[in-house]
Amino acid sequence: MYEKLKGIVLNTIHYSDKHNIVHVYTDGRGLMSFAVPLGRTHAARMRNAMLMPLSLVDIEAAVHSGRELSSLREVRRNYPLATLYSDPVKNAIALFISELLAHVIQEPEGNDPLFRYIEQSVQLLEQLPGQVANFHICFLYHLGAHLGIQPNLESYRKGYWFDMTDGVFVPAAVRGHMHLQPHEAQVIHLLSRMTFGNMSVFRFNRDERNRLLDVIISYYRLHNAAIGTLRSPDILKQLFV
Q: What is the pLDDT of residues 46-87, one digit of tens each?
A: 777 788 999 999 999 887 776 778 888 889 999 999 999 999
CATH class for domain 81-151+192-241? mainly alpha
Ranges of H-type helices in 105-163: 112-127, 135-147
CATH class of 1-78: mainly beta
Query: Which one, of 124, 114, 116, 125, lies nearest residue 91 by Cα?
Result: 125
Position 241 scores a pLDDT of 58
Annotated domain spans of the chain? 1-78, 81-151+192-241
pLDDT cut 90: percent of the chain above it = 70
Provide the pLDDT confidence category of residue 237 given band limits of 50, 70 and 90.
confident
Q: DSSP assignment of 58-103, as one string?
A: EEEEE--TT-SEEEEEEEEESS--HHHHHSHHHHHHHHHHHHHHHH
| pLDDT > 70 in the chain, percent | 96
Which carries the bigger pLDDT value, residue 214 or residue 72? 214
Is a pLDDT exceeding 90 seen at residue 93?
yes
Q: Which one has a higher pLDDT value, 19 or 168?
A: 168
Q: How far is CA 49 from the centre of its chain?
A: 20
CB 177 within 8 A of CB 163: yes
Q: In the predicted model, what is the mean pLDDT of residues 205-232?
A: 92
- pLDDT band of residue 109 (cuts 50, 70, 90) is confident
Residue 201 identity: V
pLDDT score for 66: 64
Per-residue pLDDT tens digits for 129-181: 888 999 999 999 999 999 999 999 999 999 999 999 999 999 999 999 999 99
Whether the pLDDT of residue 39 is over 80: the answer is: no
Distance CA 192, CA 188 (A): 7
Q: So what's the pLDDT on residue 15? A: 76
DSSP 8-state class, residue 36: E
The end-to-end CA distance of the chain, in Å, is 51
Please tell me the pTM assigned to this model: 0.92
Give the pLDDT score at 112: 94
Q: What is the mean pLDDT of the chain?
A: 90
What is the per-residue pLDDT for 25? 96
Of 50, 181, 25, 180, give the one whose Cα is nearest residue 118.
25
The residues facing 3 across adjacent strands are 61
3-state secondary structure of 150: coil
- Are the C-beta atoms of 114 and 27 separated by less than 8 Å? no
More confident: 48 or 90: 90
Q: Using an 8 Å Cβ cutoff, are 196 and 52 in contact? A: no
- C-alpha dist (Å) from residue 202 to 121, 190, 196: 18, 9, 11
What is the pLDDT, as a whole number, of residue 44? 64
CA distance 33 to 6: 14
Q: Which helix (H) or strand (E) holds 45?
A: helix 42-49
